Structure 1
Amino acid sequence: MPKLIIDDIPVEVPEGTTVLEAAQSVDIPIPHFCWHPALGKAGACRVCAVKMLDGPVKGVQMSCMLPAQDGMVVSTTDDEAVSMRRSVIEWLMINHPHDCPVCDEGGECQLQDYTIAGGHGIRRYDGKKRTHVNQYLGEYIEHEMNRCIQCYRCVRFYQEYAGGTDFGVMGRAAMVYFGRQEEGPLQSPFSGNLVDICPTGVFTDKTARFRARYWDYDMAPSVCPHCSLGCNTVPMARYRELLKTTARRNDRVNGWFICDRGRFANAVVNAPDRPRQALVDGTPVSLDEALDAVAARLGDFLELHGPQALAIVGSPRMDLEGNIMAARLREFLGAGALCYFDDADQAHLTGAAAALLTADDSASQEDVRNADLIALVGCDLLEEAPMMALAVRQAWRSGAKIYLIEPTLSQRTLWGLKERVAEGREREEVKPLPFEYAHVTSLADLPLAEAKRPVIICGATAEGLDAVQSVPRTAKLAFILDGPNAFGCAELARQHNAVALSTALASGRIKGIISFEADLSRDLPEGVAVLAAADWRPTGFTHRAGVLLPATAWVEQTGIYVNNEGRAQRFKKVMNPGLPIKGLTPELHPPRTHGKTAPGSDVAPSARLIAALMQRLGEAEVEEPLSGPWEGLRGLEAGGEGKKLQATTPGPLGPRGSS
């Protein structure tokens, strides 16, 4: 391992580490624009200059391009290096529009930070500035090419890292241009990362344009709820409105990036007509009155039909605490059914997939990125878990062999042209996967014996589960599940003998349902009443419920999701619930009266709603959700790597592994 000295501090780093990275390892800041931990070095911006005082290399050098070597003596504060960096910043600012007051990047702009740190305050250049014409890049990303400093981060991410083909670099010399051949929406499902990765304000989030500065936002570490991967995010809100979502680094899960689905899905949280008002038979009431009504109606129902006629329904999109409390409500009432999944096949396959995973063979996205052989079985990654496709691409870029196992697949489907037919939609073409792969008919055809780090990525389908039964335990498994907490629901279903809602209804015993953040994909049989439904989204249950209990969205509460690999991750409350101040139509606008609470804020997390209901039904002391077998998660911190829940051997959850 090379040993060197940086600003009089001895440093020892692994072979291949650059001087810039070595300095960062001991908290010595070196300005940089083009270098990024996920993209590596480019040597394009020339602002990371340092002075090599002694060793195998001498003079001013670019620290991002120079591998650390034994005997190097490096100075980041030498006058010659400081002068070089100051000159580079001045060159970059010659053509910059100096529009910080109207730039959405203000407050989180690297160019702004380094310009101020370099001591610049006056522009000496008084000539004509270079100007560009901006492009329309879709409804999510704003383009302001005049702020560009030619660091090449955007095109390196878009083309090399993410595999996009409709965005690139054009021009020459001082007229280099980053954009598309013609205007139009960016096609990559990861295009929103241009907002995060650009060190200036060339690409900004159009959905939050001119709404707030960085220091105005309410923000907290969170977890994306839009698929089962559990990517780490930082939602940003202001005035009870979720304005934008950025990626949060977690090397074990999503690395540095997130997909566009997780980044631009704010509308459902901000929807003025989402359930925010408790209703009893359609009449607005307070949340406490609604809970009283549920308790009274439930008492009457149990007296008339008995507890075996009642079903308690949870959901893979509800947090772990809420689902635990749903199980406790079932036990407290002696209800006839506890349901976490709507469909019987979905319930069985999700449970079977979770049972196959252990702490040793469950593959994280990091494992996928480092794999040397990957097989895809029964899953559509770009549709079901886009970030897993991005992880596979990184493995492919590093030389991994990728195989697609789907014996009935036509050649048309193989190259990403599979047509899907969905109700109410025309046929549409599925985007091709961002990596090359070979087609084989079964897992038996894979050269697993030649691989050192094989990973099998599988959908929770009958085809996928049948295929992986014969996979050697040397290969790690990654299942694509349905919902951010599907793994947690599968484990709770095993612990509490839960059944699918369709199975419970088919028995003919169920006459009443209490639902918590569950989606109804079928018509309920005649004679089955939805006594109450708690949710923050309008669903079939909320429309049929006698009592509607408005719940908080994930950004309005603290909770835990368990992702597809069994990794429990805590997300924290970002904003207070309530109607946003923008976008209200006259019929949705609250009364113009003063009050101590925000309109639409009489809501609560589902776990708290269940606890309050149990107290009204006679439970003297409601136990904290994270107790008993879940005690180990009580101290789980938000913002960390999370904690795996899998057993060390296949089957029912035993001693929990962690990572």
Structure 2
Amino acid sequence: MPKLIIDNLPVEVAPGTTVLEAARSIGITIPHFCYHPALALASACRLCAVKMLDGPVKGIQMSCSLPAQDGMVVSTTDPEALKMRALVIEWLMMNHPHDCPVCDEGGECLLQDFTIAGGHSRRRYQGDKRTHRNQYLGEHVYHEMNRCIQCYRCVRFYQDYAGGTDFGVTGSAGRVYFGRFEDGPLESPFSGNLVDICPTGVFTDKTGRYRARYWDYQFSPSICQHCSVGCNLAPQAFQREVIKIVGRRNDQVNSWFICDRARFDKKGINDPSRPREPKVDGEATDYETALDALAARIYDFLEVHGPESLAFVGSSRLSLEGCLMLGELAANFEAAALSFYGDPAEAKGSQFATELLTEQNVAAPADLASADCIVLLSVDLMNEGPMLAPFIRKASLTGTKVYRVDAPALPSEQRLPFDCLDAATLAEVPLETASRAIVVCHAARTPHEELAPLAAKGVRLAVLQPGPNGFAAGLAARKHGAVPFAEVLAAKKVRGIVAFESDLSAANLKGVTVLGCADWRTSELAQKAGVFLPTTTWMESTGTSINFEGRAQRFERTFRPGLPLRGLDAKYYAQSRYGEPAPGQPEVPPPQPPRIPRGEIPGGQEIEAWKAMARLLEKLGGEPIVEPLTGSWRPLREMDPEAGGERIFGLFKSSEPDTL
């Protein structure tokens, strides 16, 4: 392993490590713009200059593209290197508009940071600035080309990493332009990553434009809940409203990036009409009263119909804690039914995947990049696991053949960003010639008899789950004997249900009474329920999620639940008046900020779903539960949400989940 000295500090790094990465490993930051760990090297910005004092290479060198070698003596503070970097900053700033006060990138801009760090404070250039015309790139990404410093990060990500074809670079020298041939929405489902990848403010999030600065935001490590890949992200909230969502690095799951659905789909969380008050028969009340009413109605129902007529229904939207707690709630009534899925194919496929997958035969998203044969089996990748596509593309570019078998006719308009070979059946794919083959499939549509033989032959499996936390729902279903709700209805025994964040349609529940419903969405079940309990979204909760590969990851609460401050109803404000009303005008004082601090957040009665279940269980005579992760699950409570997660297979000594 190469040993070198950087600023008088000895360091030993793995072969192939660049000098810039070696310096970063010991806490030395070398200024850079074009370098990014997930992208190929470009050496375009020339800002990472260092002075090689001794060793196989000497003089001024670009540290981002120089591999570390034995005997190197590197100085990042040599006067020549400092002068070189200062000149680079100066020529980059010649044409920059200096519009930091109105730039949404302000406060998180590398150009700001390195300009100040380089000592650049006055402009010597007196000529005219080069200017560009901005483009309309859709409703998500705002374009400000005049801020560009020609680092090429955007086009290297968009074309090389994500496989997009409608965005690129044109021009030459000082006329280089990054954009499209004509105005129009960016077509790649990963286009929002331009916001994160750009080191200046050329691409900014249009959905959160002019709302807040970086230091205003509340943010925390979180896990995407749009599909079962489990991408790491960080919501950025301001005044109880999610303004932006940015990607968070996890090399095994999503690398540095997230898809556009994860980044921009926040309407439901910010929806002002989101149900936020407990209700009994449509009348608003407090949480304790609603829980008491629900417990009483469950007792009355059981007295008339018996426990075999009651069902507790959840979904894969529940956190691991919610899935486990729902099982405990149903177990309190021996004959009551438990269900996480309405569709039998989804329920059986989810449980089968949890039984079949092991540490040896499961594939992580990052494993796809090094596979030598990849099969897409009955899966709509761009809808059900879009962040797998860049890893598959990376493998495809190295010569790996990708086969598509029995592609489902689903409404996906996104093309795959890599070449595929179509095969009618799995038997046509030469899996026997591959040593690192991976089959990507969907639990609800893949025949079970096909997967077990594949795993026995050493083929690794990436079985996408029906829902963001389907793996956890499958484990809880196995533990507590859950059945698909369609089968429960077919048996014609269930006459009443209690639903927690369920996706069932009320249209299929003829003759069934919805005793209670807990959710953060407005749904048919919520409107039909006798008792409604509002719950928090995943951004307002702390919990655990398990992705399709069995990787448990912790997410933390980003902000406290409650109505967003913007657009808050006047009834939540104290009434005060400045000045006297005009003659003939009614004396209606304008709303003003409250004079007395409130003890409760307006509209903030929501609690996490598992806590609502625990409180209901206690009112029904069960034991108080303050922490659902006990027994074999206990190690997950101490898991660092920044550490990338860990697979749960080692938690259980047998094939069955341990006592919770």
**Contact persistence 2:479–2:657 (CA under 8 A):** no
Distance 1:19 1:113 in 2: 21
Partner of 2:495: 511
CA distance 1:437–1:638, shift in 2 (3 Å)? same
Q: In 1, distance between residues paired with 2:446 and 2:334?
A: 36
Give the Å deviation of 1:620.
4.7
Q: What's the CA shift for 1:591?
A: 4.5
- Identity over the aligned pairs, expressed in percent? 53
Q: Residues 428-453 of structure 1: CA distance to partner in whole angstroms, max 9, x if unpaired?
A: x7222100122223333333343232
Which residue does 1:12 correspond to in 2?
Answer: 12
> Which of 629, 634, 656 is the equivalent residue of 1:631?
634
Letter of the 1:283 counterpart = E
Verify the 8 A CA contact 1:359 1:648 in the aligned structure 2. Answer: no
Q: Is the 8 A contact 1:357 1:650 kept in 2?
A: no
Q: Distance in 1 between matches of 2:553 and 2:498?
A: 27
* 1:562 correspondence with 2:565: no
Q: Does 1:641 align with 2:644?
A: yes
**SS of match in other structure, 2:296:** helix
Going from structure 1 to structure 2, the CA distance change for 1:590 and 1:251 (only over 3 Å counts) comes to farther
User: C-alpha deviations, 1:361-394, integer Å up to 9, x for none?
Assistant: 1111111122222111000100111101122112
> SS at 1:435's partner residue?
coil
Q: Secondary structure of the residue that 1:333 maps to in structure 2?
A: coil
Partner of 1:447: 430
- Where does 1:467-478 land on structure 2 (aligned, <5 Å)? 467-471=450-454, 472-478=456-462
Give the match for residue 79 of structure 2. Answer: 79
Q: Deviations over 1:612-650 (max 9, x none)?
A: 112222235325211134223221221212121236999
Matching residue's letter, 1:579? L
Whether the aligned pair in 2 keeps the contact of 1:19 and 1:64 (CA below 8 Å) is yes
What is aligned with 1:602?
605
The whole-number CA distance in structure 1 between the counterparts of 2:134 and 2:443 is: 44
CA–CA distance in structure 2, aligned partners of residues 651 and 313 of structure 1: 27
| Moved segments of 4+, more than 4 Å | 588-591, 647-651
Letter in 1 for 2:629: L
The residue number in structure 1 matching 2:351 is 351
Instruction: Give 3-state SS (helix, strand or coil) of 1:297's partner.
Output: helix
Question: Measured at CA, do residues 506 and 654 of structure 1 come closer, stay the same or move farther in structure 2, by a change above 3 Å?
Answer: closer
Which stretch shifts more, 328-337 or 285-294? 328-337
Distance 1:419 1:623 in 2: 42
Aligned to 1:617: 620
CA contact (8 A) 2:245 2:264 kept: yes
The 10-residue stretch of structure 1 (364-373 or 620-629) with the greater mean CA deviation from structure 2 = 620-629
1:42 corresponding residue in structure 2: 42
Match of 1:112 in 2: 112
Structure 1: gaps (5+ residues): 421-428
Report the Cα offset of residue 579 of structure 1. Answer: 0.9
Aligned residue-pair number: 636
CA deviation map 1:264-305 (0-9, x unaligned):
011110001111111111111112211111111112111111
Q: What is the rounded CA distance, in whole Å, between the counterparts of 2:460 and 2:650 in structure 1?
A: 14
Residue 590 of structure 2 corresponds to which residue in structure 1? Answer: none
* Secondary structure of residue in 2 paired with 1:390: helix
Which residue in the other structure is 2:466 paired with?
A: 482
Q: Secondary structure at the match of 1:311?
A: strand
Question: In the aligned structure 2, how far is the partner of 1:536 from the partner of 1:589?
Answer: 23
State the match for 2:587 in structure 1: none
- Rate the CA distance shift 1:17–1:647 in 2: closer, same or farther, 3 A: closer
**Contact persistence 1:377–1:464 (CA under 8 A):** no
CA–CA separation in structure 2 for the residues paired with 1:647 and 1:375: 28
Inter-partner Cα distance in structure 2 for 1:549 and 1:607: 12
CA distance in 1, matches of 2:305, 2:17: 70
Give the letter aligned to residue 530 of structure 1: V
Q: Equivalents in 1 of 2:284, 2:258: separation in Å?
A: 39
AA paired with 2:647?
Answer: K
Segment drifting more, 155-164 vs 448-457: 448-457
Give yes or no for contact 2:270–2:564 (8 Å, CA) kept in 1. Answer: yes
Q: Which residue identity is paired with 1:374?
A: I
Instruction: Give the Cα–Cα distance (whole angstroms) in 1 for the partners of residues 269 and 58 of structure 2.
Output: 56
Give distance in 2, aligned partners of 1:57 and 1:44.
20
Q: Map residues 530-545 of structure 1 onto 2, 5 A cutoff.
A: 530-545=514-529
Q: Quote the Cα distance in structure 2 between the aligned partners of 1:430 and 1:524.
A: 30
Q: What secondary structure sits across from 1:531 in the alignment?
A: strand
Structure 2 length normalisation: TM-score? Answer: 0.93
The 1:35/1:405 distance shift into structure 2, 3 A limit, reads same
Task: After TM superposition, list the pairs within 5 Å mapping 1:355-374 onto structure 2.
Answer: 355-374=355-374
CA shift for structure 1 position 525? 3.8
What TM-score does the superposition give when structure 1 sets the normalisation length?
A: 0.93
2:414 is aligned with what amino acid?
K
Q: Which amino acid aligns with 2:292?
A: D
Query: Is 1:577 aligned to residue 561 of structure 2?
Result: yes
CA RMSD of aligned residues (A): 2.0
Corresponding residue of 1:423: none
Report the alpha carbon displacement of residue 419 of structure 1 after superposing the two structures with TM: 7.1
Give the 3-state SS of the residue equivalent to 1:631 in structure 2.
Answer: helix
State the alpha-carbon separation in 1 of the partners of residues 119 and 658 from structure 2. 57
